[in-house]
Every structure is written in structure tokens, then in C-alpha cells.
Structure 1
Amino acid sequence: MNVTEAVSSRRSIRAFLDTPVDRDVLERVLTMAQRAPSGGNTQPWHGVVLTGEPLARLISRVADDLPKGTAAHAPEYDIYPKGLDGAYESRRRGVGEDMYASLAIPREDRMARLMWFARNFQAFGAPVLMLVHTPRYMGPPQWSDVGMWLQTIMLLLRGEGLDSCPQEAWAIYSRQIREVVAIPDDHIFFCGLAIGHRDPDAVVNSFPVARAPLEEAVRWEGWQ
């Protein structure tokens, strides 16, 4: 698979098979991903790769607090900026509605939507979950570096025939995560990355995800 094929076939997978993932493959991917760019070669990314009993323990711990609703949430950063509006908010809401439409869950069925959202905290059935963190004093440029590292990992996973789902949703349970996974106190928890094999029969893995046209993102100057 070349880079273009990896980019075009990568998507956030929300239904995984229970097929195990070979650690050797993950080590190969993560070793190569160390080549991701970072300002000044700081490489500010850190990850904890969970499977088996440690992953089950984390899922169980978060499940204990799911019934508490937002009272149990303790994100260490704003997942979306306050005041998100315009095209940015429209895209965010749009992909959610498209996903629920693919699942035949109407807007008024709030309980069904909440139950589906809770699947985030089962890593959508993936056998592997990587938890990503970075030192608290890192600024926006270093967070950008972490994003480039994650994108590199996701594309390399496609090259190995694997899939993933970057999950900022895990951030709302950062306190519970820290209870069962050793993340340094002077680091901020960022996100999870579910890793495994996509379920090819799950409709949630195939609904069209709209992207903005190039002219909304890029302006050209000095070109004939």
C-alpha cells in the first residue's frame, strides 16, 4: 500500500473485530513512527499500549462511572474550543448526524445515542488501545507534533492492514484513567487510539464522511 492508498483508506473505525494484533507489528509501526516530524526534534509524544487484562480493567473502571453522567467527567483540556461556530461547528455536528443516520438512530432517541456513545469507552471493541500523553508545559507547537506522530502511526497501521480510531473522548475520564494506568502527574492526558481490524460488515465503518472542498481550506497566490 502506498501513501496515497493509506490516506484514502484511513478512517475512524467504530466497530472492530476481536482479532488479536501482533505486538511485533505494533513495534514495527511505532518504531517507524519515531520518524514523525517535530519542532527542534523534541519528540514530545508518549504512549501506553494496552491489551488483554489491563485494557479490560480500564474499560471496567470507566464503566463504573458512566451512569454518573457529566458529574464523573474531568477533562484536562477543552476538547472543542468554547464558541466553536460556523463551518467548524457545522462539520462537527454533520459527521455525528451522518453516523447516527447510518445506525438508524434518530435524534429523538436520546437513550440509544447515549448507549452508542458509551461504546467509545470500550474502544469500539478494538483489542488494543494506546493512551497518549505529553508533558503539561508543552505548548501548541508540541501538541501539533503529537498530532503528526498520531497521523504517521495511523497511516503506517493501514500499511500493515490494520485500522484505528483516534479518540479524544477518553479525555473526559482522565481521572479514572490515571487510577488504573501509570501516567506521570506532570503530563497531560490527551487521547486514546483504538487499534485493530475493522469489521467490514458494520455500516458505521462505511458511511460517507464529508470533507470541505479545497477552496475552503487553501488560498493560492502568485500562481498563473
Structure 2
Amino acid sequence: MTTTESGPPTSWRDLAPWEGKASRLDKALLIAIIALIGYGFAMMPLKPFLLASHPVLLEFLTGGYASIGAAAAFARIGEIPLWQVIFAGVVGMIKFDWLFWWTGRQWGRGIIKLFANGERAKRIAGRAHDLNPWLVRSAVVLAMLPGIPSALVFAIAGWTGMRLLTFLLLDALGALLITGLVAGLGFQLGQWAVDIVLTVDKYALWVSLALIIGISLITGIKQSRRQAKAAAARDESQDAGAAPEGDRPD
């Protein structure tokens, strides 16, 4: 199948971020991105269990704000050294970011197909190659803030020619600033925050089951909708391809 000038892609090849035939590196990067998405889903049911018992490990595994704040709260009551909280938070946030930088370096403008959502995001990303390098560097530092599409920012950094070492340093700086801010809030809350975390731990099994069931339901609903749309499209195609009764030969 092909795609029209203004219509959506109708073939998986139209969605591929590379041009022409995929190389081994293209395939490896795509598999790595898919695996990373699966890793994120796999971590979701584990979060309630690790939040109270191993918050530093959870920081390293997910780099999430909640785990950083929880670990800092335990640091306030003397359970964990604060430097471990900061170190694990920074590493947890940036450990896979180089992969997105690499996709930008490898695929260039094609990264928009993967990471940009909506026409506005695609237009902005499409002009990114002409941006001032300092704007791109500032975006990398601020990419950890909520609401910013960090994967797209990191890919644009690779696309625009930012060196890997420069990217890693700026990425670590941004992660350090955010980790310090979140850890500072958790450290100030102290015992009160720890009590909340322990309450979450008490009901961790039910929270995890709810997450698993919720993900399964959402996935099933989306799959059913896709199947219904595909069936409707096939029926419409068959109706359009059928010849009118009067035009058929005797």
C-alpha cells in the first residue's frame, strides 16, 4: 500500500524513520526503542513494591520523581545517604537518553515520524535543524521538566550535530538540577512523606494488580477499536470495488 499527498500513511514502510532499505543499525535502533517501551511497562507493577523497600534501586531503574522524593524522605530520617539519592536519581534519569540522541544522528528528519505528536509538534521539529545551537543545548538541559517531550529533544540534539560528550554533560546537568529539586522537597517533608510511602507499600499488591488490569483493559479496548476500524475499512473497500448490478455481464 502507498500513501496519498495529504492522507495518513497506509503502510508500515511509510512510518519507517529511515530512507530506503533498513540497515542493521536501523533495525537495531528500532528494536532498542521498542524494548525500552516494553521496559517502561514492565516496571510499572514493580513500583509500589520497591518504593518503600528499595527506593534507591527504584530511582536507578526508573528515574521517576516519586522514587527520588521517597528516597530523599528516607534520607531525612537517616535511612539512606543523601548522596546516593542524588546519584541514583541522575543515573536513573539519563541512562537510556543516549539512545534517543543516536536515533537523531542516524535518522535525521525521520525521527519526527517516531517522536513528534500532532501537526504543531511536527512543524516545530521540522524547523529544529535551523535553530541556534544554544537553544538546542538549553532544551537538552530543560528536557527533564514535566510536559517536555524529552525523547524528541534528545533526538533533535543528535540530528543537529551535537557531540555525544556535550549531550551527555548537558543531559546530566539537567538531570542533576531536577533531581536536586525533587530530592530537596522530599528531604524537607521527611517523616510525613515516609509515612505515605509506607502506606503505599502496605497496599502495593492491590496497586500493582490494578495497574496490570488497567493496562490489559486499555490494550484490549484499543485492539478492539483497531479491529473494528479495519473491518469497516475492508467492508467499505469491498462495497466500492463491487460492480453495479446493471453493469455485470449476463
Question: TM-score range, shorter-chain basis?
Answer: under 0.3
In the superposition, the TM-score normalised over structure 1's length comes to 0.22
Higher fraction of helix: 2
TM-score normalised over the length of structure 2: 0.20
